[in-house]
């Protein structure tokens, strides 16, 4: 596993290096190096680090949105007060990713670009309708996160293209969001996860967005379930019916983390737990 490691000083330089033959971008390396070690992908000749690029290193509030540099370690995102205050689903997701050691190096950009169906930051960013900022040798573009994932390990990123930032519109007053997830033990990828964002008005769900992880080839929005619930009051029967729709809307596989059946079950449970008013939630549920 011999490669040349490039620590580029600017985005421009990194883009040039990344456009070269047989090169790979590395941020925290917590996905990439594991994949190389397990020989899940061939070792590149050039490893281009984007961790210390100033363009990717900032978290700032800009015109009602939070701009999160794609190279910011998760621990720093998690420590950000705006994130903690306004983006509870993202906070909850980041808090369970790996361990403290992993979060100290792993980046949000890496989590998304790696495009694991189980990437925990994806469902929250899907329900917050984040926009991804990409830079390539032929210029910059922006893309909605719902258009980003193509399949396991596949995204719309062009060769050599770098994700520079994730832009998250900050939810308005009264908006609520939650993230639920189960794994076999701690420090494990999700068996299934679900994020929900909505506003409760007069007991009704308004502007509901739902997204699930580890239950389809990509993290996905549950648009049929959303449509069914939009504008409805939260009643147990409604939730049961919505859970049924959600279970049919996901397309999980059976693997060592859980069976297809169990993953569908979890999605149904998460849905009702995310939307049930707090007071009626079962004891011990997250």
CB of 119 to other proteins, least distance (A): 16
DSSP labels for 158-171? PTT-EEEEEEEEPP
> Contact letters (x/-) for other proteins, 241-260, by CB under 8 A?
---------------xxxx-
Q: Which is nearer to other proteins, 6 or 273 (CB)?
A: 273
In the list other proteins, ligand FAD, none, the entry touching 107 (Cβ below 5 to 8 angstroms by class) is ligand FAD
Alpha helices (H) in 118-257, listed in sequence order: 122-127, 223-229, 236-249
Alpha helices (H) in the chain, listed in sequence order: 11-19, 32-37, 74-79, 81-86, 88-96, 100-105, 108-113, 122-127, 223-229, 236-249, 260-275
Interface segment toward other proteins; rule CB under 8 A; list 65-73, 116-124, 140-148, 181-189: 181-189
What three-state secondary structure class fits 31?
coil
Looking at 11, 14, 15, 32, which residue binds ligand FAD (CB under 6 A)?
Answer: 32
Would you state the structure tokens that stand for residue 102, as one six-digit string?
């992993």
CB of 197 to other proteins, least distance (A): 22
In the list ligand FAD, other proteins, none, the entry touching 269 (Cβ below 5 to 8 angstroms by class) is other proteins
Q: Please give the Cα distance from 132 to 198 (Å, whole number).
A: 22
In the list ligand FAD, other proteins, none, the entry touching 102 (Cβ below 5 to 8 angstroms by class) is ligand FAD
In the list other proteins, ligand FAD, none, the entry touching 274 (Cβ below 5 to 8 angstroms by class) is none
């Amino acid at each position: 596993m011999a490669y040349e490691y490039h620590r580029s000083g600017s985005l421009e330089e990194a883009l040039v290096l990344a456009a070269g033959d047989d090169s790979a971008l590395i941020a925290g390396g917590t996905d990439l190096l594991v994949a190389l070690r397990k020989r899940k992908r061939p070792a590149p000749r050039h490893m281009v680090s984007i961790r210390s690029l100033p363009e990717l290193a900032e978290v700032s509030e800009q015109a009602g949105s939070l701009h999160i540099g794609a190279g910011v370690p998760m621990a720093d995102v998690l420590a950000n007060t705006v994130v903690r205050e306004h983006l509870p689903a993202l906070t909850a997701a980041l808090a369970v990713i790996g361990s403290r050691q992993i979060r100290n190096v792993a980046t949000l950009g890496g989590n998304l670009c790696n495009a694991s169906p189980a990437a925990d930051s994806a469902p929250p960013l899907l329900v917050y309708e984040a926009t991804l900022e990409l830079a390539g040798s032929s210029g910059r573009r922006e893309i909605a996160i719902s258009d980003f994932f193509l399949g396991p390990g596949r995204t719309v990123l062009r060769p050599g293209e770098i994700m520079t930032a994730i832009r998250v519109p900050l939810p308005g007053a009264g908006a609520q969001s939650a993230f639920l997830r189960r794994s076999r033990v701690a420090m494990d990828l999700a068996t299934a996860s679900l994020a929900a964002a909505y506003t409760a008005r007069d007991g009704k769900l308004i502007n509901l967005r739902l997204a699930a992880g580890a239950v389809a080839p990509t993290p996905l929005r549950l648009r049929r379930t959303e449509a069914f619930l939009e504008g409805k009051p939260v009643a147990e029967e409604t939730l049961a019916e919505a859970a049924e729709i959600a279970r049919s809307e996901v397309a999980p596989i059976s693997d060592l983390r859980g069976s297809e059946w169990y993953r569908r079950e979890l999605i149904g449970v998460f849905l009702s737990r995310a939307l049930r008013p707090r007071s009626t939630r079962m004891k011990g549920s997250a």
